Amino acid sequence: MPIVFVYGTLRKGERNHHFLDGAACIFEQCRTNGSLYDTNNRYPTMKESKSSWVYGELYEVTEAQLRSIDRLEGFEEGHHDNLYNRTTAPVYNDSGGEISANIYTAGQLLHKSTKRIPSGDWLVYNYLKQNDILYFAYGSCMDDERFKLAGVDQYFVNLKGKGTLNGFEFRFSRSSHDGGKADLVENSQEKVEGKVYQIPHGALEYLYKREGVYANAYRPAIVSVTINKLIYPAITFIGTEKSAETKPTELYATEIIRGGQSLLSNEYLQKIQQKIDRFN
């Protein structure tokens, strides 16, 4: 069956996602080489590039679905004036797995698009346009001590509650010079608990610096978190490269447990503590 990488209006929560009804989602967080652009027509386009990434989702579809997507994207085999061209290229998940997939890239008309989206993520780009931003913290940012030390605690006073992220696993798989850092890894059998804050735009610069976004350590991503049985989109940060789990520093581990104690379930905190204890 055909495999398709989607990065714009076909993604979850977007207006054309119904074209993928019944399709099997292979990766919810994945990427391919390219540059992403806003066409100013409420949809993005992708141009080929080896120096940057475009983020999206990967699906196994039927032949009939592929033909429907071809029509949506203005692609016809053998034509040279398509709105989008369909090519095949490797797609990578966050753990380095690679699958060849169909990808729709800019045709001649869309190559005129010049408004580049630096994050390479259409969901992040659109989400940050809104006034109310939810932030899902699952690591040391659940603890407010460093917020206070940095003088930014006023950004994190609006705690919406405990959030649960299904389909992901908590791991210390982001390696750094001072030990393993918390990370999210796709795993359909697992879930991650964390705190959900409503934050102003002013908090993003602090979070981007703290999470090492500018140093390409973590990247922003939009995930679906459950709060009191309702599902909300929220921004979080995912490690760009995965490693074998490594031991966190004592301070970092303390921040995670201390930050989660007031809200997360005892069962989940015990699971994290057991993970930490295994390094000793």
Residues belonging to the active site = 211
CA distances to 2, 38, 235 from 134, in Å: 35, 23, 6
Q: Which two tokens mark 42? A: 């409420």
CA angle 69, 224, 227 (to 5 degrees): 150
Q: Which two tokens mark 19? A: 């074209």
Query: Can you name the residues that pair with 225 across neighbouring β-strands?
Result: 232
Give the count of beta carbons closer than 10 Å to the beta carbon of residue 214: 8
CA angle 116, 6, 54 (to 5 degrees): 35
Q: Which two tokens mark 23? A: 């399709």
Q: Which two tokens mark 89? A: 């290229």
Q: How far apart are CA 188 and CA 15, in angstroms?
A: 25
Query: What Rg, from alpha-carbon coordinates, does the chain have?
Result: 20
Closest CA to 236 of 152, 157, 159, 127: 127
Closest CA to 243 of 177, 199, 190: 177
